[in-house]
Amino acid sequence: MIFELFFNACILITFVSISNLFFKNEDVPNNDSLILKIIIGLCSGLLGIILMLNSVHVSPNVIIDFRYMPIILTALYSSSLPTIIAAVSIGAFRVLYFGVSQPSIIALIDALVIGIGFSIITNIKFTQKNKWFFSIIYLFIVAAISMVIILKISILFLQIIATFYICNLGVSYLLFLYTQHLSESVHLNRRLKNEATTDFLTGLNNVRQFDTSFNSISQLTLRKQEKLSFLFVDIDFFKKVNDTYGHNKGDIVLKILSEILIDSFRIFDVISRNGGEEFSILLLECSSFQAMEIAERLRKKVKAYKFNISDKVCLNITISIGISTYPDTTSKIDNLLEDADNALYEAKRTGRNKVILYKKI
């Protein structure tokens, strides 16, 4: 019996590991996709069915396995609908495969009661550890009531319930540790992935992500024979802000400007912080004339904006912008960055707070 239960546990752990590979990039609890919820519920139910098919027969009418663990996992890491789907699948299979009998009907009722109970428990604002604890206690209560109905109070009942409690308690604790480890690993991986592509201060693309985006967009622009404009934005006299008010206040200015940029451009335009007080915007399907109009609106908007960096200090800042456009100002798309940088230098050299479109000399 010990070997069969160990095999049951191995199936469970393997299935959890594989599921983590498929769903690690999905925010499953907050995902509103009905199809995804149904798939998760059916997969969880399938796992419970596989566990039942490899169960231990402790009497002609009673089997022990870990079929309820998938329901706990679904309730904890998904939502109510997949949990109920899993519970119904497992309960229905118990009746259809093993035949209609008192134990099968009770097992079906158990699955439904457990699925509903787990859904309620995991929706209460407990810690994850407490949700596990109360779910297991609830499972043990339901299982004890069912076994009393089937076996009455007897030596066999005591043996079976003791085996059920010990095995499920051990496996549930192992699952708790393992799923916590997987959750922490997924969270860490997402954070590192985000930090690798996102500027920590503004939330915009960082230099690495900008390079990646520019390369892919450039290839797309060439392939579709479209126009691509590049804006290089620099805050005028930003060093004075840092020297006068401190770098913390300067960071506030950068954050506010980032919000202005996000609000001023289309959702598919690529906005990046290229370092310090320098920002860039890739404008897809945008001519030089349109880019000039957009940049001028941005310059005026920033100039008129009140940057509240503290309760007592409100600043006005200005920006200089250099623009280059493929193929309007250059026939080589790889020259966009250098040309826009030259245009930005010209804007700053000739007085700042202005927009300059790159022109070949």
Find the farthest-apart pair of alpha carbons in the chain and give their distance in angstroms, rounded.
99
Q: Which amino acid is at 213?
A: S
Q: Rounded to 10 degrees, what is the CA torsion of 142, 144, 150, 151?
A: 180
| 184 in catalytic set | no
* Token pair in block for residue 56: 């231990």
Neighbours of 358 (CB within 10 A): 25
Q: What is the pLDDT of residue 326?
A: 96
| CATH code given to domain 207-357 | 3.30.70.270
With contact defined as beta carbons under 8 Å apart, do 329 and 357 qualify? yes
pTM: 0.64
> For residues 17 and 55, is the Cβ–Cβ distance under 8 A?
no
Euclidean distance between CA atoms 214 and 209, whole angstroms: 8
pLDDT value of residue 103: 85
Tell me what pLDDT residue 201 has: 92
Active-site choice (26, 277, 278, 285) = 277
How confident is the model at residue 62, as a pLDDT? 63
Tens-digit pLDDT profile for residues 300-331: 999 999 999 988 889 999 999 999 999 999 98
CATH among 1.10.1760.20, 3.30.930.10, 3.20.20.70, 3.40.50.300 for 2-194 = 1.10.1760.20
Q: Give residue limits of the domains in the chain.
A: 2-194, 207-357
pLDDT for res 69: 92
pLDDT at 220: 92
Residues with pLDDT less than 50, the chain: none
